[in-house]
Structure 1
C-alpha cells in the first residue's frame, strides 16, 4: 500500500467519529430527499398498477334508455376500444336502510374485476357479496342474511352474504359517492346475479382502451389521451342516440297501436250510428268519452315518447369516488417533497461542507510535510479528495437505495390497511443522481476548495501553525455596567462566541434548521387536520346544506326540518355553480352564493366585509389563482350559460371549496332577474350519524330536496386526508430530530478539536472538570437559545411555503402550528444540547493535557 493511501486509512481510523458523522449527515439528507420525492410517484404508481391489474375501465357511459349489444359495437368503432355492458342501480337495504349501489355480477366480465377479500363470489340466485367496507364499518359477516327494501324492486328481498370484495371503481375507503335514493350518500356497494336486479336493459357501458394501459393514470399524457378518446366516443354515440331514439319511439308507437286502433274503430262505429239514429244525447256522451280517451292516449303516448329520448352521461377515472382526492394526496406529498427535503438536504450539505473544511485545515502540517517530501499537489489532494469522495458516496448511494424503497413502501403499506394497493415504486434515477451530486458537492467540493487553498502556500508556511486571530473588543465589553457584572468564565465564553463568528453562525444555523424542520413537521399535521375546523368554525356556521329539487320550494324542506328536534334555523340562498375568468386565466367549480336575507346570512357565513349593492366578494383561492384583488373585474359564467362581468369588492378567507358571494341587489343587477332560492344552509344541534341519515331521507322523500350534505362528512373527509399524511409527517419529524442531534454533536466535536490546546491549558491552570465542560457548553447553550428562536420564524416561513405549494383546486390550508409543536421542538433541541454536553464532559475528563499542549 502506498504511503498516501496508508495515511488516508490511518486518518479514517484515528477519527472514526468524524468520518461516521459525515456519512450519517449525508445519509439522512439523502434518505429524506430521495424517499419523500419517491413517495408521491410511488403512491400514484401503486394505485395505477392496482387498477390496471383489476382492469378498471377508462370511460363509463350512462344512458337514460339503457344499452344493448349494438351500443357495444358502436363503442368499439373507436380505435383500441373494448366495451362491456352491465346492470346497476341505487337501492336501499340492510340494518339501517343504507344506500347501496348494486351491480350485476358477471363472471365473464373483463373490466372492473373484483378482488376477493374473504368468502367466494356469488354463484347462486340467493347469494350476494358486499363491499369490504360493509364488513369493517357496518358489522356484516359471512353467512348473514341481507334484506333489501321493497322499493329496490328486486327478484327477491333477502340474500345470503357469501363474500366481501374490493372494486377498482372505489379506491378511497372513506367515500362511495352519492345517489338519488335514501339519504343520498352511498355507504357501500354489492353484487348479485344480473337477473336479480330486475332491469330490462343494461344501465352502464364500460370502455377500456388497450393502448392507454401503458400510460400512468395520473399523468398528463393519460388525461390528454382519454379526453381525445371521449371526444371520439361522443362522435359515434351522437349518431347512435338518434338511431336509439327512432327505435324506441317506433316500439312505443307499436305498443300504443292496438289502443289507437280500437279508438279509431270505435269512432267509425259512432259515425255510422249517428247516420242511422241521429245525434242523440247517448251518442253525444259516447263522443265525449271517445274524445277524452283519445286525449289521454295522446298524452300517454307523448309521455312515453319523451322517455325514449336518449341522454348520455360520461365518466372517466378521475370522476370516480376518491380517485381525485387520492391524486391530490400524492400531489401534496410531491409538493412537500419539492421543499422540505431540499431544505433538509441543504442543512446537511452545509454542515458536511463545514466538517470537511475543518478536517483539511487541521491537516495543514501534514500537507506541508508531504509537499516538502516532493509529493505533487495532485497526489496530496487525491488523499483528501478520496476521503471526502468515500464518505459522500457511501452516504448518498446507500440511502438513495434505502430511501427509494423504504419510505414509499411504508406509506403504501399504511394505505394498504384501507385500500389494497399493489406496491409499485419507480426508481427515481434523476432524483438519486441529484442527491449524489449534492452529496459530492458538499464533501468533495469542500475538500477541493480547501485543499487547493492550502496547497497554494509554501511548505514552510504550512508546517508552521496558522497565526491566531487577533483579539478584539466585542460589543458587550463596551457596555461597562453589564460587562463588570459578568464572571471570568462568562466573559471568556462571550469573547469566544464573537471571535469565531463562522463557528457561531454554523451552530445557530444547524440548530435553527433542525428546529424549523421539526416545527414544519408538526405544522403540516396541524394545518391539514385543522382545515375543516377552520372552515366550519370560523367561516361556515351551519351544519348541513340542502339542495332543493326546484327553485323556491324551501317551504316543503322547512316543514320537514321543523319536525326535527335538532333543527335551529336555516338561511335561504341561491347557489349557482360556474367558472370565473380574469387576465386570461380561469378557475372552475366556483360556488356563487347569494343570500335572500343578508342580515340573517351573517349568522351562517362570516365574510371579511359586508356584501355591497354591486360587485362580488371572492375567496382567496380565486384571488391567487387569477391574480386579482379588490377593485379588479372578473367574468362569471354559470353552468346554465348565464354570464356577468363583476367588480371584486373584497377578498375573503376560505379553506375548503371555491366560493364567491353577492348581495340580492348585485345579483339582480348582474343577471337582470329576480333571486330564486335553491339551497338552504341549515343549523342543527349535535346529531348522531343515524339521525343525520334519517333527516336526509325525509328531506329527499318529503322535502323536495335533491340531496343533503353534512359538515361532519366534510370533517371526516379531511380527517382521512390528514391521516394519510401522518406517516410522512412522523418520518420527517423523526429524521429532523436525528439530523439536529448529529449536527449539534458534529459541530461540538469540531469546536473541541480546534480548541483542545486552549482547553488543556485551562485544565492545567486548575479548572475543575465541570468548569472546563461549562467553558465550552455555555457557548452551546447560548447558541441553542438563539438557534431555537430563529428556528421558530424559519419553521413558520418554511411551513407557509410548503402549504402554498400543496394547495389543490378545492383546498387551501391554513398555516397553523399548535403549542405542542413548539414545546416538543424546544425540548428536543434542549435535550440534544444536554446529551452533547454530557458526551463532551466525558471526553474532556480524559483529555491528555501534555500531548495536547505539545502539539504545534
Structure 2
C-alpha cells in the first residue's frame, strides 16, 4: 500500500517541479553531450580517415630508389609475407597553358593500391583520355570533355588528351596541401593526373607500394600502428637485401656496354697480333699496331674504372603514410582536438555537475516538512529517501542517455563532415561509440544527482520529526561592509539596501551563482580564445617573426650572384641576404628534435629585417659569437635552458656539441640560429653559403610560381619555398577547426543559459514566502521582480568579470595541451570574444528575469504564506 502512496508522491513531485526536473535533465544532458561528443571528435577524425584510406588501399610503405626500380626489385618485393604489392610509373610534366608542374601517373585499374576516388566523370579507358586532380580547376578552366595539353616531354608518348574526369587520391589526405616537389618548372607540383599506363614512356618503376590488410587496427595515426609499420619495413629491407648492389652492377653494365665491347675487340685483336708474332710474323707495323692497341686497352680499362667510380650505389627509401603530404598534419589536427577534448569537456561537466548537485540538495532541503511528516508517521529512512533516489536516478539516466546519443552521433559527425567539405577528402564520418567515455559520464552524472541525494537526505534525517516539520528560521541579518560607508549608504534607496544585504546574507547562494555565471561566461571566452589563438599563431609567425618572403636554395653549382641576377629582373624583388640553410637534428638530455631549420647568416646582422629573433618577453636577441640560439618549442622538447649543451647533427653526418645562448620566440616550425664564427668553432670548417632569404612585395600565387620557375631555370636554384604558402597552409589548418570552435561556443552559451535559469529558479523557490510577504505589503509586480533581479544583475556582472579571468586561465591551459611538435599557440583573446561573452550572459540573464517576472505575477500569495516553504 505504502509503495502506491510513494509512487503517487513521486509523480506529484515531478509534476509540481517539472521545470526543475527538466532543468536538471538538460544540465546533465549538456554535460554528457559535451563530454562524450567533444572527446569523441578526435577519434572520429582518425577513424574516418583510416577507414577511407584502408578502403582505397593506401600503401602502408612506399619504396623508391635513386636509380628507379626494376622487375627484379618487384619480384623480391612480392616475397614479403602478407603484403599486397603494386609497382607504379610516374613522371613530371608541364601543363602547356601555364607551365604548372603536373605529377602524371600511369593508370591500369582501380582495384589495386592507392585507389583514386572519382569526384565527377569517370576513369580513363583509352590512350587519349586523362583524369585530373580536382585541384586542377584552380589552375585552369578545365572541365569534362575539354582538351588538355602538356608541354613537349620525352617521357609521355602523347601530349594531347581529353579530360574524362576529376579525381582525388588517398595519397593526399588533405586537399589543400602541397603536392610535393619536382625537378622541373618552379619546383613544386601543382596537381596530379592519371593517363593510361602505356602512355608513360619510362623503363623503370618509380615506386613500389606495400599494403598489409588489417595493419592499422582502425587507426593510421597511432604510435602502435607506426611501430607495426616499422616492423614491416624491416621485413621489406630483408627481402630486398642485396638489390641495391645488384642494381648498381646493372647500371655499370649498361653504362659501360659500349666501352666493354670496344675493350673486347681490342683485346681480341691484340691476341691475334700476339699469335702472329709467335708464328714469326713480326714486323715494324705489327709492333707499332700492338703498341697502339695496348695504349687503347689501357684507356678503355681506365674508362671502365671511371664509370664504376661514377655510378653510385642506389639509395632505397622507405616512406610511410606519415611521410605523405598533409597526412601527419591531419593526425596532428586530430590530436589537437583530442587535447582540447581532454580539458574543455571535463571543466564543462564539472560546472554542470556542481549546479546539479546544488539543485538536488536544495530540492531535498525544501521538502523538510514532508520529510518530518513521513518520519513522524513511522516511515523508515529507506522509504523516506526512496523517491528522491528515483527522482535523481531518472534525471541522471534520461540526461545521460540523451546526451550520449546526441553527443556521440551529432558532434563528431558534424565536425568531420563540415571540416571535410572545406579541406579534406575525408567527408564521410565514421563513428565508433566511445563506451568508456559514456560509462565515465554516467558515473559523473550519478555522483552529481544520486550523490547529492545521499548527502542531503542523510543530513536532513538526522533532525527530529518536530524540528523538520517546522520551517527553517531565516538567517539573521548582519551589517555589511557597505553600511559602514555612511555617506554612500544613506544615498541608497530602501530597495537597493535590501538587495545588498540579501546578497551577503546568503553567502553560499551568492558564491554558487557567481561560480555558475563565471563558468558559463568563462567557457564562452575559452571558445573564442581557442579560435583566436589558433588563427593567431600564423599571424604572429609570419607578421612578427618571419619577415622574408621566400627561401631560395642554391644548387651545387649555383651562386648568389646568379640567383640575384634573375631576382633583379623581377619587379617585385626588394632585397636578399645570403645564409647557410640546413635541416638538422638537435639532441639533449636523452631527447631529440628532427627537422630543425638551421640558419647561419653570412654576416652576423644579415638576419636583421628577415627574421625577428626575440625572447619570449619581446627582447631582441643578438646572435652570439659562440653557441646557438634555439626557438622555444625545440628547447622545451629537449628540456634545454640557456646554458645547456645540445648536440647538432648535420645532414652530412657531422655533429657538434654547443651551448644554448638564448631561446627565441617562435610559433610554427623549429629553428636554430648560429653565426659564421660560431659554426666554424663548432664544426671546424666554414659554413658554405647555399641559400638566399628573399624579400619581395606582395605577389599573387601565379607570380610566385613564375619567379620560382625563373630561379630554377636560370638562377642556379633548386627550390624556392614561400612564406605565403606556409601561411596559407596554416590558415587552412586553423579554418578546419572553425566548426569545432563554433560548437564549443554554442554549447557553452546553452550551459550558461540553463545554469542561470536553474539558479534563479532555486533562488525564487527558496524565497517565495519572502517575496509573497513584500507583495502583500503593497509592492508592485515590477518592484517584486526587481527585488530578485537587482541581486542577479550584480551577481551577473561579478560572474562575467570572474569568467574573463577563468576563460584566460582555461584557454592558456588548453593551448599548452594542444601544442604539437611543430606549433605553439600564443594566448590571444580579441575584445569581441569578451564582448560577446558578456552580451550573451547578460542576454541570458534578461531572458531568465523576464520568465521570472511572469512567474511572480502568477504567485498565489495565500498559499505561499502558508506553513509550507515550497
- Which category describes the TM-score, using the shorter chain as reference length? over 0.9
1:755 matched to 2:767? The reply is yes
Cα distance between partner residues in 2 of 1:659 and 1:470? 65
Aligned to 1:402: 406
Change (3 A) 1:121 1:519: same
Aligned to 1:61: 63
Cα distance between partner residues in 2 of 1:120 and 1:160? 12
Aligned-residue CA RMSD (Å): 2.5
Cα distance between partner residues in 2 of 1:251 and 1:28? 72
Aligned to 1:216: 219
Cα contact 1:91–1:152 (8 A) shared by 2: no
Change (3 A) 1:253 1:673: closer
Q: Secondary structure at the match of 1:721?
A: helix
After TM superposition, give the deviation of residue 73 of structure 1 in Å: 2.6
Aligned to 1:419: 425
CA deviation string 1:13-64 (max 9, x = no partner): 0111100100111111111111111111011011100011111111001112
Aligned to 2:834: 822
Q: Pick from 258, 261, 266 the counterpart of residue 258 of structure 1.
A: 261
Cα contact 1:636–1:645 (8 A) shared by 2: yes
Cα contact 2:557–2:716 (8 A) shared by 1: no
1:549 matched to 2:555? The reply is yes
Q: Secondary structure at the match of 1:587?
A: strand
Cα distance between partner residues in 1 of 2:141 and 2:438? 46
How is 1:771-790 mapped onto 2 (pairs within 5 angstroms)? 771-790=783-802
Aligned to 2:375: 371
How is 1:437-456 mapped onto 2 (pairs within 5 angstroms)? 437-456=443-462
Cα distance between partner residues in 1 of 2:651 and 2:666? 22
1:319 matched to 2:323? The reply is yes
Cα contact 1:270–1:287 (8 A) shared by 2: no
Cα contact 1:248–1:308 (8 A) shared by 2: no
CA deviation string 1:774-817 (max 9, x = no partner): 11111111111111111111111111111111111111111111
Cα contact 1:180–1:706 (8 A) shared by 2: yes
Cα contact 1:535–1:655 (8 A) shared by 2: yes
After TM superposition, give the deviation of residue 287 of structure 1 in Å: 8.9
Cα distance between partner residues in 2 of 1:676 and 1:693? 27
Cα distance between partner residues in 1 of 2:857 and 2:782? 9
How is 1:559-598 mapped onto 2 (pairs within 5 angstroms)? 559-598=565-604
Cα contact 1:252–1:301 (8 A) shared by 2: no
CA deviation string 1:608-655 (max 9, x = no partner): 211111221111102221222212222222232222222222211100
CA deviation string 1:308-339 (max 9, x = no partner): 73221211010011110110111011001001
Cα distance between partner residues in 1 of 2:327 and 2:846? 48
How many residue pairs match? The answer is 853
Q: Secondary structure at the match of 1:530?
A: helix
How is 1:291-440 mapped onto 2 (pairs within 5 angstroms)? 299=303, 302-303=306-307, 306-307=310-311, 309-417=313-421, 418-440=424-446
Change (3 A) 1:296 1:173: farther
Cα distance between partner residues in 2 of 1:849 and 1:430? 50
Aligned to 1:202: 205
Change (3 A) 1:382 1:790: same
Aligned to 1:87: 89
- When structure 1 is superposed on structure 2, of 644-653 and 683-692 the one drifting more is 644-653
CA deviation string 1:150-170 (max 9, x = no partner): 136311111111111121111
Q: Which runs of 5+ in 1 are unaligned?
A: none
Change (3 A) 1:508 1:152: farther
Cα distance between partner residues in 1 of 2:799 and 2:710? 60
After TM superposition, give the deviation of residue 477 of structure 1 in Å: 1.5
Cα contact 1:611–1:617 (8 A) shared by 2: yes
Aligned to 1:808: 820
Cα contact 1:592–1:660 (8 A) shared by 2: yes
Cα contact 2:419–2:739 (8 A) shared by 1: no
Q: Secondary structure at the match of 1:742?
A: helix
Cα contact 1:551–1:676 (8 A) shared by 2: no
After TM superposition, give the deviation of residue 519 of structure 1 in Å: 1.1
1:681 matched to 2:693? The reply is yes
Q: Secondary structure at the match of 1:65?
A: coil
Cα distance between partner residues in 1 of 2:855 and 2:50? 54
Cα distance between partner residues in 1 of 2:173 and 2:336? 18
Q: Secondary structure at the match of 2:241?
A: helix
Cα distance between partner residues in 2 of 1:288 and 1:798? 88
Q: Pick from 778, 783, 794 the counterpart of residue 766 of structure 1.
A: 778
Q: Secondary structure at the match of 1:202?
A: coil
Aligned to 2:618: none
Aligned to 1:614: 626
Q: Secondary structure at the match of 2:810?
A: helix
Aligned to 1:641: 653
Change (3 A) 1:658 1:850: same
After TM superposition, give the deviation of residue 265 of structure 1 in Å: 7.1
Change (3 A) 1:94 1:20: farther
Cα distance between partner residues in 2 of 1:88 and 1:305? 29
Change (3 A) 1:303 1:109: farther
- When structure 1 is superposed on structure 2, of 29-38 and 763-772 the one drifting more is 763-772
CA deviation string 1:264-285 (max 9, x = no partner): 67889999999867799xx99x
Moved over 4 A (4+): 261-280, 286-301
Q: Pick from 473, 490, 493 the counterpart of residue 496 of structure 2.
A: 490
Cα distance between partner residues in 2 of 1:93 and 1:230? 36
CA deviation string 1:84-110 (max 9, x = no partner): 211012222153211111111011752
Cα contact 1:353–1:442 (8 A) shared by 2: yes
Cα contact 1:573–1:681 (8 A) shared by 2: yes
Cα contact 1:551–1:678 (8 A) shared by 2: no
Cα distance between partner residues in 1 of 2:747 and 2:321? 36
Q: Secondary structure at the match of 1:238?
A: coil
Aligned to 2:109: 107
Q: Which runs of 5+ in 2 are unaligned?
A: 615-620
Cα distance between partner residues in 1 of 2:194 and 2:129? 9
TM-score by length of 2: 0.94
Q: Secondary structure at the match of 2:80?
A: coil
Aligned to 1:658: 670
After TM superposition, give the deviation of residue 501 of structure 1 in Å: 0.9
After TM superposition, give the deviation of residue 295 of structure 1 in Å: 5.1
1:239 matched to 2:245? The reply is no
Cα contact 2:504–2:510 (8 A) shared by 1: yes
Aligned to 1:98: 100
Cα distance between partner residues in 1 of 2:102 and 2:864? 80
Q: Pick from 616, 627, 631 the counterpart of residue 643 of structure 2.
A: 631
